[in-house]
């Protein structure tokens, strides 16, 4: 027969084991989720990041059986939302869309109090390449025409980008530093401003995320894509060469990977549940159509894949911005 002291000891051990399974937020990781989830967007409503987050959020809500509240927190080149994310309890009830821009470039260029290591990657929601594009009435009918003009008169050709510390802006800096092709970079506050500037003749070209609005302009003939940022030619732009093809090696980082992440320290069970659910969502035809099939990776981008994108961006850009 067990003594009273032994029984008390067993009870204490059981209590401690139970506490060890508790998440920081007070819930049981094995039963996650048991309450609504807050899903942050570091940009304004209506853009490609907002569409991606809301589409994935609706699927997560359906699959997990808990309300997912999408909240736009634009500002500080993504720092406002990312600061909110990294400061949240690592319990799976605060998540965010993240990009290399918000988690790598912004901390390198500014004192924001966090780094990419302050998040827990969950997986890739979408990948949006960039294109170097000109207007329909541009004197540059091809990439060769464009770069001939750039090399003939360094700095005379202007190119719009979605912000001064974005991957697009840094890639153009690398174009000059590493390849001797210097353009004048003109920062704007997103695709809408860039489109207006290009169509109004205020810039000669744009290096822009090829989101649905840009694709519509390409299909309508308003934009003429000259170069793609992808490593290989895009299947839906088969006649558009890549920077690599043109001899500008390494300029493949101006596209955007839209990742899903939580704060650092997210329990493995919670992160695994979210990763598996995200994988299942991206296999659903309805979700793929809403996101745009061309933006959903053919092979699911895991948490490790997302971490690798952020690590590569840090490795390339830290010597430039650090």
CA distances from 310 to 47, 77, 165, 313, 322 (A): 22, 16, 15, 5, 15
Q: Can you give the pLDDT at residue 5?
A: 46
Q: Which two tokens stand for residue 124?
A: 């890739």
Q: How many CB atoms lie within 10 A of CB 38?
A: 16
Q: pTM here?
A: 0.81
Q: At what angle do helices 268-282 and 48-64 cross, to 10 degrees?
A: 110
Catalogue all structural domains in the chain, each as residue range(s) with its CATH number: 33-127+256-321 (3.40.190.150), 130-228 (3.40.190.10)
Q: At what angle do helices 212-220 and 191-199 cross, to 10 degrees?
A: 20
Q: Can you give the pLDDT at residue 322?
A: 67
Tell me the pLDDT of the chain (322 aa) as tens digits: 444 444 444 444 444 444 444 444 445 678 999 999 999 999 888 878 899 999 999 999 999 999 999 999 998 888 999 999 999 999 999 999 999 989 999 999 889 999 999 999 999 999 999 999 999 999 999 999 999 999 999 999 999 998 887 889 999 999 999 999 999 999 987 788 899 999 999 999 999 999 888 999 999 999 999 999 999 999 999 999 999 999 999 999 999 999 999 999 999 999 999 999 999 999 999 999 999 989 999 899 999 999 999 999 999 999 888 6
Q: Which two tokens stand for residue 53?
A: 């987050």
State how far the Cα of 83 lies from the Cα of 263, in Å rounded to an integer.
10
State how far the Cα of 91 lies from the Cα of 24, in Å rounded to an integer.
6
Strands 256-263 and 94-98 turn out to be antiparallel
């Amino acid at each position: 027969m067990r003594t009273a002291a032994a029984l008390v000891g067993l009870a204490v051990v059981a209590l401690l084991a139970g506490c060890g399974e508790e998440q920081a937020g007070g819930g049981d990781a094995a039963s996650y989720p048991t309450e609504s989830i807050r899903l942050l967007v570091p940009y304004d409503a209506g853009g490609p990041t907002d569409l991606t987050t809301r589409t994935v959020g609706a699927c997560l809500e359906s699959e997990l059986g808990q309300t997912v509240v999408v909240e736009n927190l634009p500002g500080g080149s993504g720092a406002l939302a990312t600061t909110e994310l990294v400061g949240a309890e690592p319990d799976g009830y605060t998540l965010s869309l993240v990009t290399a821009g918000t988690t790598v470039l912004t901390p390198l260029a500014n004192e924001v109090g966090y780094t990419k290591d302050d998040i827990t990657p969950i997986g890739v929601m979408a990948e949006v390449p960039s294109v170097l594009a000109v207007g329909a009435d541009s004197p540059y009918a091809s990439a060769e025409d464009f770069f001939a003009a750039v090399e003939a008169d360094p700095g005379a050709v202007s190119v719009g980008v979605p912000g001064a510390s974005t991957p697009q802006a840094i890639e153009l800096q690398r174009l000059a530093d590493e390849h001797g092709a210097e353009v004048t970079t003109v920062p704007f506050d997103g695709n809408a401003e860039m489109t207006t500037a290009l169509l109004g003749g205020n810039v000669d070209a744009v290096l822009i995320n090829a989101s649905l609005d840009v694709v519509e302009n390409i299909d309508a003939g308003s934009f003429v894509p000259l170069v793609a940022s992808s490593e290989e030619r895009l299947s839906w732009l088969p006649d558009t060469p890549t920077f690599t093809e043109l001899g500008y090696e390494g300029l493949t980082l101006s596209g955007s990977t839209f990742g899903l992440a939580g704060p650092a320290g997210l329990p493995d069970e919670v992160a695994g549940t979210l990763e598996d659910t995200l994988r299942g969502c991206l296999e659903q035809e309805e979700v793929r159509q809403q996101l745009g099939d061309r933006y959903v990776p053919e092979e699911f981008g895991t948490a490790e894949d997302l971490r690798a994108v952020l690590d590569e961006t840090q490795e390339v850009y830290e010597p430039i911005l650090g």
